[in-house]
Structure 1
Amino acid sequence: MRYLKFIAGLSLGLIAALGAAHAEQPTRIVVPFAAGGGTDQYVRILASELTKRGMQIIVENKPGASGIVAADYVAKSRPDGRTVLVSSLGTLANNTILFDKLPYDPVKDFAPVSQIAYQPAIIVGRTDLPYKNIKEMVEYAKLHPGKINRGSPGSAILTNLAPMSFEKSIGISTTHVPFNGDTPALQALLGGQIDIDGTSITGSLPYIRSGQLRVLGVMDNRRLSQVPEAPTFKEMGYDVQAVLWYSLSVPAATPKAAIERLNHAVNQVIADPEFVTRAHAIGMEPRGGTPEELAKFVRTEFDRWVPLLQSLNLPKQGQ
């Protein structure tokens, strides 16, 4: 009897120890862009606040192939709620049109957790360019066809798709040069390898404040508080609105309890006034919500942008 009690006690102790060890395992948030870019900056602020609230968070950057590298990695990870993808329009919708074959299914392989932020897409250029805003750039492009090289953080990302759609609507064209994230694209812009860049205010703001770059146009119906002098596309006569959004997704088989736990923690941070202030300082607008709200939102965005991509008749890309 004593032996049986000893074995039972030992088993309970091992179970408790294993449970404690599991609880202490870190949660990895996988960013599909290079370190230092706007999305990466915001996610690291979010991770820092989650850590303060008792979670162990590691931010991993896995750039490449318009988010495919990161998305595939998370899709094939253990569905325990501890490997999380920073998802967006590209990974959850547009890649299905732009790439011939994906190693993951954006609908079947992921479960939604929460939105985390949004911000308008913008076009930036160096201050030594012969045009100071989008209207002047359009005039230059018409006089000098094919002379403008336009960068973006990736082919499937809204900061490429929205400018591409805009160019088609007004009859101009630029040469698109995709990069693996904001930081490489901005460095290429500063180095003169490209002329303009589709991006967000977050990664470009330090270079704007230093006088190296300027915002040529904001794809929203209002100006950015960080650069109030920068005009919107609508102010210059172009009906363009394109909002970048960021969310969290986990492998599809992740237990509901794990998703709800992560959702609750993230939404607590996003509602914190101090966090909101820090987010605004880098050009991000925090936005949370339920997994169900995220799923509905993604469907709406899919229905908006995928038909547009199909209408452009873009050639399928490899990986």
Structure 2
Amino acid sequence: MNATDEAGRMPQTAASLLRASTLPALEARILLTHALGWRRTELITRGDEPLAEAACAQYRALEARRAAGEPIAQIVGAREFFGLEFEVTPHVLIPRPETELLVETALAALEGITAPRALDLGTGTGAIAVAIASARPDARVWALDRSAEALAVATRNAAKLLDAKRPGGALQLLQSDWYTALDPALAFDAIVSNPPYIRHGDPHLTEGDLRFEPRGALTDEADGLSAIRIIVAGAGERLVSRGQLWIEHGYDQAADVCALLAAQGFENVHSRADLAAIERISGGVWKHGGTNGE
């Protein structure tokens, strides 16, 4: 016979909470494991184990936050990206799977280069920069953001996910409005960025997870290309000869971004599609040489 509580009710279990949830099954499982401090496999192996009411109440509170629209990543404070788990707060953009294409492309650009240098503009959580540094321990990577709150998150993620003794040294984090605070003597083998590119007035800004993310990381409050123009215009002075620039952009911006790159003098300009067949990033090769200083 199953035990009952003092009021004569059957105790809740992980299985019963999941059955009763109105959330999508995957979201409910993520929130429940977070509330209970369990691994996902324990939802199976311990699924019929009676739970304390405090644990059930904690899960229901998380469930209510998600039902109100708050992003899963902000509720649990983490999101996996490129095989690494990053801290996420309301001060940073939530890393998304499609942005992994930017990391993969940057790593391809650095292939065959000994101790390469890479620059991530508008780093947010540090996901792009940390992923590159993790995959290429010999690389020296700089990560810039104008937000002090975002840099604090990126700093914690770098400390957690990167070995401070890696051959390339510690990740260089710098508060900067794009290139402004960067040492002008530096030049890079690859520059990457996931800048704010959503147009002002785009209805997506008032839908889904975007409602809870920092607006300044999403939109330039203009045509969606303002930040991209700055990045493209300043990249040549920061790239070594044959260095590459790659930028993430909106689903309908590939032609515009490619035109900006070509007009600035980049060669082999083209776009790459993500797994959803959306042209997600555009870039090119710098045919001239940067300062390439120390």
Question: TM-score with structure 1 length normalisation?
Answer: 0.26
| Higher helix proportion | 1
Larger RCO: Structure 1 or Structure 2 (Cα < 8 Å, ≥ 6 residues apart)? 1
